[in-house]
Structure 1
Amino acid sequence: MAKPKKQEKPAERREMSGIERLGLRVSSMINHPVAQVQRWVTIHRLDTDGDREWEEVMGLLSETDGIEMTFNDDESVTLRWEASSEEGRPVEVLEPVDEVAPF
């Protein structure tokens, strides 16, 4: 006779806070491949974004070096940034050198 399986407790589901949700959305938009190529993105404020959360995330972005922020009339914010020194540096291609083996 088979033993009854133990009932596993369902994993607790933690609700994301408003600031976590907004931060994740902004981060996703900045890291999107198209935004990375064009080096700018416009973040639109949603109805679900509270004043406190919006101000805190915008404050964090304004403190970030290398990001230029433009506050638009429709409450959106356009972020622009320059290529990092590693992205913009030219790729060095090494040519194989024909040398006589020393042995």
Structure 2
Amino acid sequence: MAKAKKTEKPAVRHEVSGIERLGLRVSSMINHPVAQIQRWVTIHRLDTDGDREWEEVMGLLNETSGIDMTFNDDESVTLRWEASAVEDRPVEVMEQVEEPAPF
């Protein structure tokens, strides 16, 4: 049997822009379980965060209702939010009913 030649396509790499990278970092920090429990997070500006990217992401956060922003002296920003109606609902616990074995 003849072996079929594998033609490998070079992997296409998508470069992430500065604003996408910052947006992903901020989103990850906000969605972190600890931040969700305490309902606040402090975002520190990194050396790799450009002025334009930082201003744009902070502007988007500022326009988001339900988020209180505090600009700190060290150029970090603390975000605080209240629990949403979905988070305030009590958690329902369903008890498992043991079924008799079929044999």
Any idea what the Cα deviations from partners look like across 1:42-93, whole Å, max 9, x if unmatched? 0000000000000000000000000000000000000000000111134578
Percent sequence identity over aligned pairs: 87
Alignment of structure 1 residues 3-22 onto 2, 5 Å: 3-22=3-22
Secondary structure at 2:57's aligned position in 1?
Answer: helix
Task: Say how many residue pairs are matched.
Answer: 93
2:97 matched to which residue of 1?
A: none
Q: State how far apart, in whole Å, the 2-side matches of 1:63 and 1:16 are.
A: 24
SS in structure 2 at match of 1:60: helix
Structure 2: distance between partners of 1:92 and 1:50: 45
Aligned to 2:83: 83
**What TM-score do you get using the length of structure 2 for normalisation?**
0.84
SS in 1 for 2:59: helix
Give unmatched runs, 5+ long, in structure 2.
94-103
Q: Does 1:50 align with 2:32?
A: no
> Secondary structure of the equivalent of 1:80?
strand
Q: TM-score, normalised by structure 1?
A: 0.84
Task: Map 1:23-102 onto structure 2 (within 5 A).
Answer: 23-91=23-91
